[in-house]
Amino acid sequence: ERAWGWLAAYRDMGYRMLPLSLKGSSDSLDMLKAELAGKTTLVLGPSGAGKSTLTNHLVPGALAATREISQALNTGKHTTTSTTWYWVDKEAKTALIDSPGFQEFGLHHIDARHLSGLMPDIKPFVERCKFYNCTHLHEPGCGVIAAVKSDSSAGSISDRRYKIYRDLFAELDAPKF
Ligand X SMILES: Nc1nc2c(ncn2[C@@H]2O[C@H](COP(=O)(O)OP(=O)(O)OP(=O)(O)O)[C@@H](O)[C@H]2O)c(=O)[nH]1
Q: Does 80 interact with ligand X (rule: CB under 6 A)?
A: yes
Indicate the residue among 80 and 156 with the shorter CB distance to Mg ion: 80
Q: Does 57 interact with ligand X (rule: CB under 6 A)?
A: no
- Choices 37-45, 70-78, 102-110, 142-150; region in contact with Zn ion by CB under 5 A: 142-150
Q: Does 156 interact with Mg ion (rule: CB under 5 A)?
A: no
CA distances from 177 to 78, 104, 174 (A): 29, 18, 9
Q: Does 52 interact with Mg ion (rule: CB under 5 A)?
A: yes
Q: What is the dihedral of CA 128, 170, 153, 127, to 10 degrees?
A: 10
Collapse the DSSP code of 42 into the 3-class scheme (helix H, G, I; strand E, B; otherwise coil) and give the result. strand
What residue ranges in 46-152 does DSSP mark as E strands?
84-87, 95-98
Sequence-ordered list of residues with C-beta below 8 angstroms from that of 76, at least 6 positions apart, any chain = 46, 47, 48, 49, 67, 69, 70, 101
Q: Does 67 interact with ligand X (rule: CB under 6 A)?
A: yes
Binding residue count for ligand X, defined by CB under 6 A: 23
CA distance 162 to 28: 31
62 binds, options Mg ion, ligand X, Zn ion, none, Cβ within 5 to 8 A by partner type: none
Indicate the residue among 31 and 172 with the shorter CB distance to ligand X: 31
Q: Does 94 interact with Mg ion (rule: CB under 5 A)?
A: no
Footprint of ligand X on this chain (CB under 6 A)?
Answer: 20-23, 45, 47-53, 66-69, 76-80, 100-101
